[in-house]
Amino acid sequence: MTALIPQSILELDKLVRTIADAIAAVLQGIGLGPAWVTLIQLSIACLVVIAFAAVVVLFLVWWERKISAHIQMRLGPMRVGWHGALQTIADAVKLLQKEDITPTNVDRPIYFWAPILTFVAAVAVYVTIPFGKGLIVSDLNIGILYILSITTFTVIGLLMAGWSSNNKYALLGGFRSAAQVISYEVPMALAIMGVVMFTQTLSMVEIVNQQQSFTHWYIWRQPIGFVVYMIAATAECNRTPFDLPEADSELVAGFVTEYSGMKFAMFFLAEFLNLFSISAIATTLFFGGWQGPFLPSWMWFMIKTLIGVFVLMWVRWTYPRLRVDQLMGFAWRFLLPAAFVNLILTGLLIAVFL
Amino acid sequence: MDPITLAFLALAFLIIVASLFVVSSRNIFHSAIFLILALFGVAGIFVLLEAPFLAAAQVLIYVGAISILMIFAVMLTARIADGQLRYTNEQVPTGLLVSLGLLVVMLYSLWQTPIPTSAAAPVSGAGRKLGELFLTQYVLPFEIISVLLLTALIGALVIAKKDPRAASAADDSAADVPARERERAVV
């Protein structure tokens, strides 16, 4: 079977390495210093990751529509392409062509920058995600901490959108998102800390390297941490049952109410990018990342991550939305104590067995 | 010019311009956004100095927590957010004098202090070493700060919590506290 597949696809990391070296050779040939070469290499890598993210989003939007439809005993998009597979591309083209409307009374600069900031924050996470063996833009030694800190810009983007829109529904959405994200960031960070206590490192590549086989996956040592992480992360990216910031039935569309065309598309894109990155981080931290037998590493990573995405979609189309007070109560009275208990248990485990 | 110097110049420009807008912007929400920009620029400087842990902590704490709380407060006080604020009052001469004095003192001390530079390579994995030091050599200050923060947290809760009996008692006895101020504390 392996003979049928081109070698380069099986060993994508070698291919990437070769291309990176070729680029470096060309740049050095022009006479650029090593710092410039690294900078240009990283920029190209970032562009590749952004392109990859865009393709992933196109797929995820279609997948979400299909899954939601089948959960609700419908068919979903069927007309464009095989089972509506090209529907998202058609929608994207439509959004690109739309007139970019800026309402009269918005705060223009902030209204303009809010979707860009949200989108950039969502993409920036992908820089430190190991997509496969050797397939990472930059293996920062603060990896997971970088992800935690860069995602906070998403909230600022949402707040900017909510405030600048000059609309009470948008403002309420912004409020809700700020309160929600601040509350759920704490248990999420604590849940990740449980894994970090085992790994003794923040680097994403190192964390994957330590989970060589199925039995070494951190989910077996961190079951509580995993559950807390998944719940908190779902809340972080405003998905049902935590989609209060854009609750359609109460707030029209929350912070995106006044947005249209390309700006709306950027919020939409960021939402699905966050969905994928949450699952990718869970894969890296709890399910051994790209480690797996037979298949190439990047394929394992995609399989595990897409299963995670499927579970998140499943949850979204199964549970109703929480109330605001339930949301806060759940974060502070249940998730936070659970995360603390997990930390103490982890500490005890390490002290006793390691 | 190498990219590090260019990046430093760009970041320095960004921080200075953003800081100027923080104090000169007429709209307090814009000020808050520019403050975030300035703090992010400082994080960028930390990255250039090969202190990524510090940069992440800067973003996580200042941008992620403190700035969001500030924006939250600004958004809750609607009249501040959309009004054109006056940033000066009759105390301009005094303020100018004090800040000029402070500037002179700071410049003088900057001029006088020898800034040590070292050829040693920056520590890699600083976060880990920092954690080790916090839990060994500096465990006492670390714990004291934790207790202090916990006290502040409980204090804030006590001030903010509306106890119906205490509130009614306070209404009777302490009439000198304006009701609006108590309400603001509750908010």
pLDDT at B172 over 70: no
Structural tokens at position B14: 């960004």
pLDDT tier for residue B14 given thresholds of 50, 70 and 90: very high
Q: Give residue ranges of B with CB < 8 Å to any A CB.
A: 2-4, 27, 29-30, 33, 36, 52-53, 55-57, 59-60, 63-65, 67-69, 71-72, 75, 81, 124-125, 127-128
pLDDT at B12 over 80: yes
More confidently predicted of A305 and B27: A305
Query: What is the pLDDT, as a whole number, of residue B148?
Result: 94
Distance from CA of A215 to the nearest CA of B (A): 26
Query: What is the pLDDT, as a whole number, of residue B147?
Result: 93
| Amino acid present at B186 | V
Q: Which residues of B touch A36 (CB under 8 A)?
A: 2-3
More confidently predicted of A153 and B170: A153
Under DSSP, the state recorded for A250 is: H
Nearest to B27 by CA among B79, B70, B81, B89: B81
Burial B57-83 (b: 16+ CB within 10 A, else e): bbbbebbbeebbebbbebbeeeeebee
Q: Are A149 and B63 in contact (CB < 8 Å)?
A: yes
Count of residues for chain B?
187
pLDDT-wise least confident of B45-54, B95-104, B144-153? B45-54
Give phi and psi for A132, each to the nearest 5.
180, 180
DSSP letter string over B129-186?
A: HHHHHHHTTTHHHHHHHHHHHHHHHHHHHHHH---HHHHHHHHHH-TTS-HHHHHHHH
How far CA B149 is from CA of A318, B142, B183, in Å, comes to 40, 11, 24
Query: What is the pLDDT, as a whole number, of residue A48?
Result: 86
How far CA A226 is from CA of A181, A186, A218, A346, in Å, comes to 18, 14, 9, 13
Query: What is the pLDDT, as a whole number, of residue A107?
Result: 79
How far CA A46 is from CA of A39, A52, A55, A283, B163, in Å, comes to 10, 10, 14, 21, 54
Query: What is the pLDDT, as a whole number, of residue A130?
Result: 86
Distance from CA of A177 to the nearest CA of B (A): 11
Average pLDDT over residues B150-172: 72
Q: Are B72 and A178 in contact (CB < 8 Å)?
A: yes
Average pLDDT over residues B122-147: 83
Q: Please name the residues in contact with A208: beta carbons below 8 A apart, sequence gap of 6 or more.
A: A130, A284, A288, A289, A290, A291
Q: What angle do CA A157, A160, A161 make, to 5 degrees?
A: 85
Average pLDDT over residues B127-153: 87
- Closest-CA residue of A relative to B7 is A39
C-alpha B50/C-alpha B123 separation (Å) is: 9
Structural tokens at position A122: 């969502």
pLDDT tier for residue B84 given thresholds of 50, 70 and 90: low
pLDDT tier for residue B144 given thresholds of 50, 70 and 90: very high
Is the ipTM of this structure higher than 0.95? Answer: no
Structural tokens at position A6: 């081109």
More confidently predicted of A245 and B48: B48
Q: Give contacts of A 136-155 with B, CB under 8 A.
A: 140-142, 145-146, 148-150, 152-153, 155
pLDDT at B136 over 60: yes
pTM: 0.81
Q: Which residues of B touch A146 (CB under 8 A)?
A: 52, 56
pLDDT at B102 over 90: yes
Query: What is the pLDDT, as a whole number, of residue B152?
Result: 92
Query: What is the pLDDT, as a whole number, of residue B184?
Result: 44
Picking from B33, B52, B75, the nearest residue to A175 by CB comes out as: B75
Per-residue pLDDT of chain A (354 residues; tens, 9 = 90+): 455 556 666 667 777 777 777 877 787 777 777 777 888 888 888 888 888 888 888 888 888 888 888 888 888 788 887 887 888 888 888 888 888 787 887 778 888 888 898 888 888 888 888 887 777 777 777 888 888 888 888 888 888 888 888 777 888 888 788 788 888 888 988 898 888 888 888 888 888 888 888 888 888 888 888 999 998 888 887 777 777 767 666 677 777 777 877 888 888 888 888 889 999 999 888 888 788 787 777 888 888 889 989 998 888 888 888 877 888 888 888 888 999 999 998 889 888 877
Query: What is the pLDDT, as a whole number, of residue B169?
Result: 52
